[in-house]
Amino acid sequence: MELFHTILDVFSQFQPIHYILLVLLAYFIENIFPPLPGDTMLVFT
């Protein structure tokens, strides 16, 4: 649970442009390394 709070603190310091860059980076990584079945659901749960 402590890790969750640490991650939350890091994300609360981000500017909106950081979220856009993070989504673009994740998009390119998904295209380079195809996900395993069920991998995307693991990220969003």
Tokens of 12: 């609360």
Based on its alpha-carbon atoms, the radius of gyration of the chain, rounded to whole angstroms, reads 13
Domain count, the chain: 1
Alpha helices in 1-45 (DSSP H): 2-12, 16-32, 39-44
Determine the distance from the C-alpha atom of residue 5 to the mean position of all C-alpha atoms in its chain, rounded to a whole number: 15
Q: Is the pLDDT of residue 10 over 60?
A: yes
The domain of 44 spans 16-45
30 in a structural domain: yes
Is 43 part of a structural domain of the chain? Answer: yes
Tell me the residue length of the chain. 45
Q: What's the whole-number mean pLDDT along residues 10-21?
A: 79
4 belongs to a structural domain? no
pLDDT at 41: 53
| Res. 45 pLDDT band, cuts 50 70 90 | very low
Residue entry with tokens 């295209």: 31
| Structure confidence at residue 3 (pLDDT) | 84
Winning range, highest mean pLDDT, from 26-30, 32-36, 40-44: 26-30
| Mean pLDDT, residues 19-26 | 83
* 7/4 Cα distance (integer angstroms): 5
